[in-house]
Amino acid sequence: MSQDQTMQGIRAKAADAIRCQSTVLPSGLTVLCRTMPGYSTVHAMYATAFGSTTRRFTLDGKPVELPAGTAHFLEHKMFESEQGDAFDLYAKTGASANAFTGYDRTCYIFTASGKIDENLDILLNMVGHPWFTEATIAKEQGIIGQEIKMYDDSPDWRLMTGLFRCLYKDHPIRDDIAGTVDSIAELTPDLLYACTDAFYRPGNMVLSVAGNITLDQAVAACRRAGLDKPAPDHTVTVARNSPENDPPQAEMQFSMPVNKPCFALAFREAPIPRGDVRTEMLADMLPDLVCGGLTSLYRKLYDQALVNPEFSGDTVSTSGCCVIAFTGESETPRAVAGMVREEITRLRQEGVDPELFTLVKNQMYGEILADLEGVEDAAEALASAHLRGNTLADEIEALASLTVDDINGALQSMLSEDCMTYVEIEPQNQ
């Protein structure tokens, strides 16, 4: 099958699978809906483009600086209102609700099989009517302190935090998403209200729904929540996290109670401009081409018991930051890191095997279709694409059009040793 046939095939076959409807309300809120015939549940995600790496902004001309962990703290607090806890309201509808915070977003979700209108009302009202007091903030600091400690015991989490610290001197990605016990102690109601005024404006948010629901139903819920009218305007300027050019810290080592050394070999890449789907796809693909399960390097590392089966590469991309990291456990972590570096050099010189490239592309196509099968994944995929500044159709299109020459071109500038770091966790003496 030629490249052209593959491209046309992907476009034609995926067209139905990625269908969705959307509208932008007068308040500025974007509503996305994927109606899924035959499904009985609905998943809704109400998301704001405000995550842990947004730390400096001006609100109506007034500068605001946030301590680490603010977005995550806010996520916890949004479930509380003067009338009580949103979980209590969801308990009356049977919905399963949750929320999570990432580097560039905070998302509030529910899955429900009935009382969809009521559940949408709870979701939109709880996020639309923030309520903070000194007392409720103090109580939450205890719970979040426990959460921070839980992550402190995770070697994978500590590894990621370590490599961000090596690669970036100023970028807020250096700090844990949940912050520290000390940083969240600085939070006040005024600071949290400044954040909701700036980032929980409808124009900065997206409501994405999938399953047994129509766009009209979602829009009607927005209308009931007053989101069909122009929203009070605030002038918000977010200080962009600038790209960093200084050489990174070459390595970092620390110890934890683990059985075997854990390691990360990571590369700082040029930040990917918002909406540049092709570069996003290339960055996602690269780790699979270097040491994914289909490569000869992975096989060698696995068969020689040099790494754990979960050894893999991953890409993290957010405003002002892009990192490709290879992480795993090994008795000989430096040797494994050396083999990964050699493979990158070889690929740069010899080029990627075209068959491997096509297989990885096939896999990505299958993954996109699989993601659209469940209501949760579908709503999340729609919202994620929107927050990245594109659509699922753009992603399919970009995937279809990528060629092996594109990836070989990317390899000439990406995964550069000048922007590389190595982090290792040694087993702590018991």
Residues 321-340 binding other proteins (CB under 8 A) are 329
Are 121 and 130 in contact by the 8 Å Cβ rule? The answer is: no
Among 3, 28, 125, 155, binds other proteins (CB under 8 A): 155
- CB nearer to other proteins: pick between 10 and 137: 10
Are 76 and 140 in contact by the 8 Å Cβ rule? The answer is: yes
CA dihedral over 134, 139, 140, 141, signed as positive or negative = positive
337 pairs with which residues across the strands? Answer: none
For the CB of residue 369, give the shortest distance to other proteins in the complex, in Å: 5
Among 185, 238, 252, 258, binds other proteins (CB under 8 A): 258
Under rule CB under 8 A, residue 91 binds other proteins: yes
109 Cβ partners below 8 Å, 6+ apart? 43, 44, 45, 46, 97, 98, 99, 100, 376, 379, 380
In Å, how far from its chain's centre is CA 373?
Answer: 20
State the Cα–Cα distance between residues 288 and 238, nearest whole angstrom.
34
Among 24, 40, 63, 188, binds other proteins (CB under 8 A): 40
Name which of residues 354 to 393 contact other proteins (CB under 8 A): 359-360, 362-367, 369-370, 372-375
199 pairs with which residues across the strands? Answer: none
Tell me the site size for other proteins, rule CB under 8 A.
76
For the CB of residue 90, give the shortest distance to other proteins in the complex, in Å: 8
- CB nearer to other proteins: pick between 191 and 307: 307
Phi, psi of 10 (to 5 degrees): -60, -45
Under rule CB under 8 A, residue 107 binds other proteins: no
Binding mask of the shown chain, residues 271 to 300, with x at each position contacting other proteins by CB under 8 A? ----------------------xxxx-xx-
Under rule CB under 8 A, residue 1 binds other proteins: yes
Under rule CB under 8 A, residue 252 binds other proteins: no
Among 260, 278, 334, 348, binds other proteins (CB under 8 A): 260
Joined tokens for residue 296: 């000869």
- CB nearer to other proteins: pick between 41 and 390: 41
Task: With contacts defined by CB under 8 A, name the span among 59-67, 101-109, 144-152, 411-419 that binds other proteins.
Answer: 144-152
- CB nearer to other proteins: pick between 212 and 319: 212
- CB nearer to other proteins: pick between 297 and 410: 297
Instruction: Tell me the residue length of the chain.
Output: 430
Under rule CB under 8 A, residue 99 binds other proteins: no
Binding mask of the shown chain, residues 304 to 323, with x at each position contacting other proteins by CB under 8 A? -x--xx--------------
Q: Can you state the angle between helices 277-291 and 404-413, rounded to 10 degrees?
A: 80
Angle at 325 between CA 154 and CA 49, to 5 degrees: 80
Under rule CB under 8 A, residue 149 binds other proteins: yes
Report the 10 Å Cβ neighbour count for 77. 21
Task: With contacts defined by CB under 8 A, name the span among 39-47, 221-229, 277-285, 389-397 that binds other proteins.
Answer: 39-47
For the CB of residue 345, give the shortest distance to other proteins in the complex, in Å: 21
Report the 10 Å Cβ neighbour count for 236. 17
Which residue carries 């050099």 as its tokens? Answer: 345
Joined tokens for residue 150: 């839980």
For the CB of residue 15, give the shortest distance to other proteins in the complex, in Å: 11
Look up residue 98 and give its DSSP letter: E
What is the chain's Cα-based Rg? 23
For the CB of residue 410, give the shortest distance to other proteins in the complex, in Å: 20
- CB nearer to other proteins: pick between 95 and 265: 95
61 pairs with which residues across the strands? Answer: none
Joined tokens for residue 316: 């993290």
Q: Which long-range contacts (CB under 8 A, 24 or more apart) does 404-407 make?
A: 404/351, 404/352, 404/354, 404/357, 406/278, 406/282, 407/282, 407/285, 407/286, 407/289, 407/352, 407/357
Under rule CB under 8 A, residue 142 binds other proteins: yes
For the CB of residue 430, give the shortest distance to other proteins in the complex, in Å: 7
